[in-house]
């Protein structure tokens, strides 16, 4: 759909927005981006978003009407199906299904990581760190070759995990290093994602400071 105009409605810190932005960048698709203050959601946004959440993807169509998609993986799947550029899933149906399973795993892993990052007390932080590391150990057991989840080619699973790993590049290394210790495959994967141009460009240059500010505002024990 070469004449389709796309607008990504986002928030500067949202990891789910980053998924969609990464896919757009991997596909080489031109798009506009509008950030929304989720603490004071504008009426126009609430009229578009059934859940009151980001991301949204507004698709301008040839008839002049706009279609609005919500939920990050719905958006990513639409982009995979509708846009040119490299495919982000393997051609084999079984391999695709397995990767979609690990995408669901990635969403649950993000929840564990988020609770760890925002913990306000040591017992909660320790419990969530253990749960998150347990999930990383499961990933370690299935990663075979790199630098990406499926091997040499960047794929949809990578777009899901890159925003998650980004958090731990911002934290004090004294906090993040023990979590990834003795996980060489996961660590290699994390490092490869950190240098991918689409991953870098999916957030603003002030992302790290914004995230630290978020942690400070929420009185998280890992705030700098």
CA separation, residue 76 to residues 14, 47, 82 (Å): 15, 22, 10
76 is an active site residue: no
Catalytic one of 6, 8, 9, 14: 14
Active-site residues, by number, are 14
């Amino acid at each position: 759909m070469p004449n389709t105009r796309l607008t990504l409605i986002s928030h500067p810190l949202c990891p789910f927005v980053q998924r969609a932005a990464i896919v757009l960048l991997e596909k080489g698709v031109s798009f506009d981006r509008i950030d929304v203050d989720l603490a004071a959601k504008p009426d126009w946004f609430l009229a578009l978003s059934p859940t009151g959440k980001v991301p949204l993807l507004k698709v301008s169509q040839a008839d002049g009407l706009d279609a609005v998609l919500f939920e990050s993986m719905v958006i990513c799947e639409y982009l995979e199906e509708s846009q040119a550029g490299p495919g982000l899933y393997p051609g084999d149906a079984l391999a695709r299904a397995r990767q979609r399973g690990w995408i669901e795993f990635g969403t649950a892993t993000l929840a564990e990581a988020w609770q760890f990052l925002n913990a306000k007390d040591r017992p909660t932080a320790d419990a969530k760190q253990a749960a998150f590391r347990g999930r990383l150990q499961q990933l370690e057991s299935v990663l075979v070759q790199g630098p990406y989840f499926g091997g040499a080619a960047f794929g949809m699973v990578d777009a899901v995990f890159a925003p998650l790993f980004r958090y731990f590049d911002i934290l004090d290394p004294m906090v993040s290093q023990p979590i990834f210790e003795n996980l060489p495959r996961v660590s290699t994967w994390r490092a490869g994602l950190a240098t991918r141009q689409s991953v870098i460009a999916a957030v603003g240059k002030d992302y790290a400071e914004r995230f630290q500010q978020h942690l400070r505002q929420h009185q998280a024990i890992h705030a700098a």
